[in-house]
Amino acid sequence: MTKSSELDAVFAALADPTRRRILSMLLEDDMAVTDVADPFDMSLAAISKHLTILATAGLISQEKRGRVKWCKLEPDSLRNASVWMQSFGQFEAVNLDAFERFLESVLGAGEDD
């Protein structure tokens, strides 16, 4: 996977509130899939799809221990996304107008070519 597609997978996984909540739960400790599913009002199959997306993005890992599948947070997988976001640190968090002007200037500069 290229860096760009890795970032795309991480941000796509983080875009869903259910998946963000799962990651928050896994901050505490490794969890069995059934324990991950408990607080949610959805089927185990639906939770499994969310877990697959998180695993594909590298945000979690899964392993089978006996008959139980466990999930573990992989916090290092957020490093590239964090570095990418920090490159925008020159802007105030709430100053979206300045960010938009910056993007227009950068993207507009390439149109003259």
Report the CATH number that the domain containing residue 99 is assigned in CATH: 1.10.10.10
Percent helix, percent strand, percent coil in the chain, to nearest 5: 65, 10, 25
**Of 82, 40, 77, which Cα lies nearest the Cα of 55?**
77
Contacts of 79 (CB under 8 A, 6+ apart): none
Provide the token pair at 65. 């221990």
Model pTM? 0.74
pLDDT of residue 113: 47
* Domain count across the chain: 1
Q: What is the mean pLDDT of residues 21-36?
A: 95
Cα–Cα distance, 44 to 36 (Å, whole number):
9
Mean pLDDT check: name the lowest of 31-35, 54-58, 106-110.
Answer: 106-110
pLDDT recorded at residue 93: 58
Please state the three-class secondary structure of 9-43 as a single string: HHHHHHCCHHHHHHHHHHHHCCEEHHHHHCCCCCC
| 74, 60 contact by CB (below 8 A) | yes
The per-residue pLDDT for range 46-82, each reduced to its tens digit, is 999 999 999 999 999 999 999 999 999 998 888 888 8
Cα(91)–Cα(104) distance, integer angstroms: 15
Length of the chain, in residues: 113
Confidence (pLDDT) at 37: 97
Write out the residue range of the structural domain in which residue 69 sits. Answer: 1-113
User: How would residue 84 be classed by pLDDT, with cut points 50, 70 and 90?
Assistant: confident
